[in-house]
Chains A and B, each alone.
Chain A
């Protein structure tokens, strides 16, 4: 039986000898998957029998729906020196992500139908991960006027956000929420009160006191989150809180959900993998916005992932060129890349320590984020697109700059040993990772 890496373009085939992980059905078991013309034909547990189509050996790897990352910065148009749609979508599939949503803080921003179309065209031409643009909530992300949601959604935008920044004022946030309710797309909010965060560069606490760095208290995020949720009480709209970092924020979302508000939330892997104590080295790869908080906050985020308060993990993949990050800490731009390490962080910090089962952990990067932006992804349902990932949940590997496919290498995990490695990714039935080494 040839291995899956020897796929040559077959339109109909079976992947046998895999451990099927179905996050939605919360099921793990040895089985096989049939793919036909880019769609999942069937998923069966047990060995395949009498297939008259090519059968590929999955090498005993685990197989799950392709991962979904709803918070990625592809930097194109405008900042191609950091990343392009092509390199970003390559990094995505390398990390097992077959669907990604890209944020609008490009230049020009995604506040015009032509930019949406440009991005979709480029993504299709690259032919790696599927890319879903997020439109700017306000024109130019300036916070003064609503973007043309009708046109943007029709062109393919799946959500609105002014990410990189919060929606400027409470009044503007209200208008955004009122208007998007018509289009069924969520507001993805980067929660930050700019008057509080000012020139702060790390979390305000013991370590900022020790290091003498300008600091940001957690309520810099919480005030904006609370503001939005108070508005949400009376404005029917879908609201998604991006990159939650603090215990206070988790508490606020938990209470809002208890009261039945239509809120979802995400956190990013670096908030799970690090605490503010790690900033003692002044490593600019740990400079992110919102800043990495303390141990109590990381523990609260893990609790939130366990009890369902936090719906998904999104990388907030934020590429920056080396010359931008190799500067004094306070001068460095905020952000870390994450597409190629997110899955491994999930395994290393959530599954291995026993916080979450494998299917439950994978739900955080499959059907649950897909549901936030309303895309058909992240399931093994028959008839769904054959977007699949094969991985080894116990393979240990060390993150190196040379091993990353993204154009920029600003990962705080470089040098770290992680567990869990993606081996192949399939998009619409095509084994796209086979083309990665050709680039």
Chain B
């Protein structure tokens, strides 16, 4: 059985190229399901999956929920407001209470790095990280890689540039971990206050000049400038950011003609990316979203398949026949 090494998906750091390959191959076969008029397969029928979202989300949340429903799993959505977390219930108690309802998978998005790891150490259920603070967002990394492979083929030696608030970006980290494992050449670019120390030691190039960062790239991943994570003054204004780092038509002209433009969403139109560029055919943003559902279907399917507790019912006679014919 081609499974994943761990029963959790906590991050892309440490995931081998082979494991990524398994997930992406599975995603390719699931993508077709979203094109059918009846978008449903029974693969995860009878499985229970809880989406525990402590942070606001449109894309990731809907994407996971649809992935789960299209695989016929039973889903429960819990968000921070409206749950007993508002009454002060701890993360541990929330998760253990849900698990007591005999669930198979928890998909968690949380503002604290390490929250999924914390749950994984406590629970029997599989834990999928849907974004933990600034640490990792592995399914986003996977869908970005899936999109890149679809457009660029083998990623070895391909140049991918990530632009924005790298220091606070879980999308950047997951992309960096996944892409470097696959042999891509990753460059990061952004305001100096947003490039974390010693990031070169993760195997990426740091380029402060935007033109040099994008002119040779095969793909540019534009990060949302994270307004809600700015507690301290890291850059002077959105206008300044748009002027210095914004991906507008002029900057697109600096890129190679077949360089694709990505964005994890949500977009701040007019800040990190302009309206016309986001809507142009150089941008594959909506394609990423479509791929996201397939990638999440693949992840959930592989995790559930991997932790099958009861073996499927086997007719005793058939089993005996098989044993006799086994070569010793």
Residues of A within 8 A of B (CB): 198-199, 204-206, 208-213, 281-282, 323, 326-331
Known contacts A199-B231, A212-B133; A282/B92 CB under 8 A: no
Residues from chain B with Cβ under 8 Å of A198 in the complex: 231-232
- Bound together, the chains give a CA A212 to CA B135 distance in angstroms of 4
- Bound together, the chains give a CA A330 to CA B91 distance in angstroms of 13
- Bound together, the chains give a CA A171 to CA B201 distance in angstroms of 41
Quick check: A205 and B197 within 8 Å, CB to CB?
A: yes
Known contacts A328-B114, A329-B112; A209/B197 CB under 8 A: yes
**Selected contact of B90 from candidates A199, A323, A329, CB within 8 Å:** A323
Quick check: B198 and A206 within 8 Å, CB to CB?
A: yes
> Can you list the 5 inter-chain pairs with the closest CB atoms, starting with the nearest?
A282-B114, A212-B134, A328-B112, A212-B135, A209-B196
In the assembled complex, B210 has its CB within 8 A of some CB on chain A: no
- CB of B162 to closest CB in A, whole Å: 14
Least CB separation from B177: chain A residue: A210
Residues from chain A with Cβ under 8 Å of B136 in the complex: 212
In the assembled complex, B13 has its CB within 8 A of some CB on chain A: yes
- Bound together, the chains give a CA A208 to CA B168 distance in angstroms of 11
Least CB separation from B115: chain A residue: A328
- Bound together, the chains give a CA A212 to CA B133 distance in angstroms of 7
Quick check: A327 and B113 within 8 Å, CB to CB?
A: no
In the assembled complex, B202 has its CB within 8 A of some CB on chain A: yes
Least CB separation from B135: chain A residue: A212
In the assembled complex, B199 has its CB within 8 A of some CB on chain A: yes
Contacts A/B (CB < 8 Å), 14 sampled: A206-B201, A208-B196, A212-B136, A212-B168, A282-B113, A282-B117, A282-B118, A327-B91, A327-B118, A328-B91, A328-B112, A328-B115, A329-B114, A330-B133
In the assembled complex, B110 has its CB within 8 A of some CB on chain A: yes
Residues of B within 8 A of A (CB): 13, 90-92, 110, 112-115, 117-118, 132-136, 167-168, 170, 173, 196-199, 201-202, 231-232
- Bound together, the chains give a CA A331 to CA B167 distance in angstroms of 20
Residues from chain B with Cβ under 8 Å of A199 in the complex: 231
Residues from chain A with Cβ under 8 Å of B196 in the complex: 208-209
Quick check: B113 and A213 within 8 Å, CB to CB?
A: yes
Quick check: A327 and B135 within 8 Å, CB to CB?
A: no
- CB of B120 to closest CB in A, whole Å: 10
Known contacts A204-B197, A208-B196, A327-B92; A213/B135 CB under 8 A: yes
Least CB separation from A324: chain B residue: B90
Residues from chain A with Cβ under 8 Å of B202 in the complex: 209-210
- CB of B92 to closest CB in A, whole Å: 6
Known contacts A212-B134, A212-B136; A327/B114 CB under 8 A: no
Residues from chain A with Cβ under 8 Å of B232 in the complex: 198
Residues from chain A with Cβ under 8 Å of B173 in the complex: 210, 212
Least CB separation from B92: chain A residue: A326
Quick check: A329 and B118 within 8 Å, CB to CB?
A: yes
Least CB separation from B90: chain A residue: A327
Residues from chain A with Cβ under 8 Å of B170 in the complex: 212
- Bound together, the chains give a CA A330 to CA B134 distance in angstroms of 12
Quick check: A330 and B112 within 8 Å, CB to CB?
A: yes
- CB of A299 to closest CB in B, whole Å: 18
Quick check: B197 and A206 within 8 Å, CB to CB?
A: yes
Residues from chain A with Cβ under 8 Å of B134 in the complex: 212-213
- Bound together, the chains give a CA A208 to CA B198 distance in angstroms of 10
- Bound together, the chains give a CA A329 to CA B115 distance in angstroms of 7
- CB of A323 to closest CB in B, whole Å: 7
Least CB separation from A202: chain B residue: B113
Least CB separation from B133: chain A residue: A212
- CB of A379 to closest CB in B, whole Å: 46
- CB of A219 to closest CB in B, whole Å: 12
Residues from chain A with Cβ under 8 Å of B114 in the complex: 211, 213, 282, 328-330
Q: Taking A198-B231, A209-B167, A213-B135 as given, write out 17 further A-B residue pairs in contact, using a Cβ cutoff of 8 Å, ordered by the A residue number.
A: A209-B202, A210-B202, A211-B113, A211-B135, A212-B132, A212-B133, A212-B136, A212-B170, A213-B113, A213-B133, A323-B90, A326-B92, A327-B118, A328-B112, A329-B113, A329-B118, A330-B112
Least CB separation from A326: chain B residue: B92
- Bound together, the chains give a CA A205 to CA B202 distance in angstroms of 12
Residues from chain B with Cβ under 8 Å of A328 in the complex: 91, 110, 112, 114-115, 118
Quick check: B13 and A210 within 8 Å, CB to CB?
A: yes
Least CB separation from B201: chain A residue: A206
Residues from chain B with Cβ under 8 Å of A205 in the complex: 197-198
- Bound together, the chains give a CA A249 to CA B114 distance in angstroms of 30
Least CB separation from B168: chain A residue: A212
Quick check: B199 and A209 within 8 Å, CB to CB?
A: yes
- Bound together, the chains give a CA A144 to CA B198 distance in angstroms of 39
Residues from chain A with Cβ under 8 Å of B199 in the complex: 209
Residues from chain A with Cβ under 8 Å of B13 in the complex: 210
- Bound together, the chains give a CA A326 to CA B115 distance in angstroms of 11
- Bound together, the chains give a CA A250 to CA B67 distance in angstroms of 55
Residues from chain A with Cβ under 8 Å of B197 in the complex: 204-206, 208-209
Residues from chain B with Cβ under 8 Å of A329 in the complex: 112-114, 118
Residues from chain B with Cβ under 8 Å of A213 in the complex: 113-114, 133-135
Residues from chain B with Cβ under 8 Å of A210 in the complex: 13, 173, 202
From B110, B112, B136, B168, name the one whose CB has the most chain A CB atoms within 10 angstroms: B112
Quick check: B135 and A281 within 8 Å, CB to CB?
A: no
Residues from chain A with Cβ under 8 Å of B112 in the complex: 328-331
- Bound together, the chains give a CA A323 to CA B88 distance in angstroms of 13
- Bound together, the chains give a CA A326 to CA B13 distance in angstroms of 24
- CB of A281 to closest CB in B, whole Å: 7
Residues from chain A with Cβ under 8 Å of B168 in the complex: 212
- Bound together, the chains give a CA A304 to CA B92 distance in angstroms of 41
- CB of A117 to closest CB in B, whole Å: 37
Residues from chain A with Cβ under 8 Å of B91 in the complex: 327-328
Residues from chain B with Cβ under 8 Å of A327 in the complex: 90-92, 118
- Bound together, the chains give a CA A328 to CA B95 distance in angstroms of 12
Least CB separation from A207: chain B residue: B198
- Bound together, the chains give a CA A400 to CA B173 distance in angstroms of 36
Residues from chain A with Cβ under 8 Å of B90 in the complex: 323, 326-327
- CB of A308 to closest CB in B, whole Å: 32
Residues from chain A with Cβ under 8 Å of B133 in the complex: 212-213, 330
- CB of A116 to closest CB in B, whole Å: 36
From A211, A212, A213, A326, name the one whose CB has the most chain B CB atoms within 10 angstroms: A212
- CB of B156 to closest CB in A, whole Å: 23
- Bound together, the chains give a CA A211 to CA B113 distance in angstroms of 7
- Bound together, the chains give a CA A205 to CA B199 distance in angstroms of 9
Least CB separation from A206: chain B residue: B198
From B136, B173, B198, B202, name the one whose CB has the most chain A CB atoms within 10 angstroms: B198
